[in-house]
């Protein structure tokens, strides 16, 4: 691969080593040797074990569970690289934690996504590469160049390989996700439906109505994050009650906390497809109706283009 900012180096934290190695294989690069470990009191210590002076370094780290530990790893790795004289440091964050806290929801509540953006910037990061931000405006929280990639090309390719397109309907699980769902529906020339829901409290949702005629269609729910799984389970029930043939879900980030995997396993969802932006737990890996899509090639190509100072946005034209 070509580079204009020094030799390209990949450094990985502990959040998703499997994905980091896959990205390295796609680029034909070995991960830079680094030690990311804990002291007895869980204090994080980082040591970069190779020369990175003058290098274009990409730190691959999702800020997934345990979110705060993985965020601190990212910050400390960045500081170590800056002090080791790396020429440019790009934080590759397949899943950006705290993204759901992108605005004030009450009089005295924080905008935590902005705080985290400030921390990453002040640590010494030169640019950020992330995937399917929960809210697009988070790009503006960073005072450094930020590329927000989209998993939709990977999903579209998989959908075209597995389904008869003429019998598909794309469904947004809430009004806020309509733009995302409409974009995918346009790519596969499918009609669009919307789930109208009321969320009584965080982590719980109640489906109220299905907007659109889904009778006879195979429905594909599209969203960026699945956490408790309650929204998807309720949406699948509502769609089937309105005459849908089968219900599938394509979600970028499989947070799947708590009993979410068991909830999906016991649901009427035919299949939940998630990307490997978050390393799946054993419970998720063993759930029969959850399948993983690799985004290593997408992120690898974005890194390749960034290193060569080429367009990243043209990946999604």
Binding positions for Mg(2+) are 134, 174
- Of 299, 276, 308, 253, nearest in space to 129 by CA: 299
State the helix-helix crossing angle for 178-187 and 152-162, rounded to 10 degrees.
50
Rounded CA separation 196/208 (Å) = 6
Can you tell me the distance from the alpha carbon of 253 to that of 227, in angstroms, rounded to the nearest whole number? 9
Q: Which among 4, 33, 197, 268 is annotated as catalytic?
A: 197
Cβ pair 146, 128 in contact under 8 A: yes
Single out the residue of 220, 197, 194, 193 nearest to residue 207, CA to CA.
197
Binding residues for ATP: 41-43, 100-101
* 83, 124 contact by CB (below 8 A): no
d(CA 61, CA 278): 9
197 is catalytic: yes
Whole-number Å distance between alpha carbons of 185 and 71: 34
Q: Check residue 109 and report its DSSP letter.
A: -
Indicate the DSSP class of residue 138. Answer: G
Q: Give the helix ranges, DSSP H, for the chain.
A: 17-27, 67-83, 112-122, 152-162, 178-187, 230-241, 260-265, 282-285, 296-307
CA distance 97 to 93: 9
DSSP string for residues in 229-255? SHHHHHHHHHHHHTT-SEEEEEEEEE-
Annotated binding site for D-ribose 5-phosphate: 199, 223, 227-231
Q: Can you say whether the dihedral through the CA atoms of 248, 277, 296, 156 is positive or negative?
A: positive
Active site members: 197
């Amino acid at each position: 691969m070509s580079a204009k900012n020094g030799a390209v180096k990949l450094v990985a934290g502990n959040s998703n080593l499997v994905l980091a190695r896959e990205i390295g294989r796609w680029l034909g690069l070995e991960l830079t040797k680094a030690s990311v470990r804990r002291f007895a009191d869980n204090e994080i210590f980082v040591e970069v074990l190779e020369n990175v002076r003058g290098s274009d370094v990409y730190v691959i780290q999702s800020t997934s569970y345990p979110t705060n530990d993985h965020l601190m790893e990212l910050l400390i790795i960045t500081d170590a690289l800056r002090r080791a004289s790396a020429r440019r440091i790009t934080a590759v964050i397949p899943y950006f934690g705290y993204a759901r806290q992108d605005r004030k929801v009450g009089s005295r509540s924080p905008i935590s996504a902005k705080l985290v953006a400030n921390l990453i910037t002040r640590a010494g990061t030169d640019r950020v590469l992330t995937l399917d931000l929960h809210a697009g405006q988070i790009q503006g929280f960073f005072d450094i160049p930020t590329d927000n990639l989209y998993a939709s090309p990977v999903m579209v390719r998989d959908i075209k390989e597995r389904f008869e397109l003429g019998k598909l309907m794309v469904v947004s699980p809430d009004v806020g996700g309509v733009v995302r769902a409409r974009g995918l529906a346009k790519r596969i020339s499918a009609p669009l439906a919307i789930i109208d829901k009321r969320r009584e409290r965080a982590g719980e949702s109640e489906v109220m109505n299905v907007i659109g005629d889904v009778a006879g269609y195979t429905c594909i729910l599209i969203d960026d994050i699945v956490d408790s799984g309650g929204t998807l389970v309720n949406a699948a029930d509502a769609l089937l009650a309105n005459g849908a043939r089968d219900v599938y879900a394509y979600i970028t980030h499989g947070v799947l906390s708590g009993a979410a995997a068991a909830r999906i396993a016991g649901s009427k969802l035919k299949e939940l497809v998630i990307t490997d932006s978050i390393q799946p737990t054993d419970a998720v890996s063993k759930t029969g109706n959850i399948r993983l899509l690799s985004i290593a090639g997408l992120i690898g190509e974005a890194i390749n283009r960034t290193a060569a100072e080429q367009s990243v946005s043209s990946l999604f034209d």
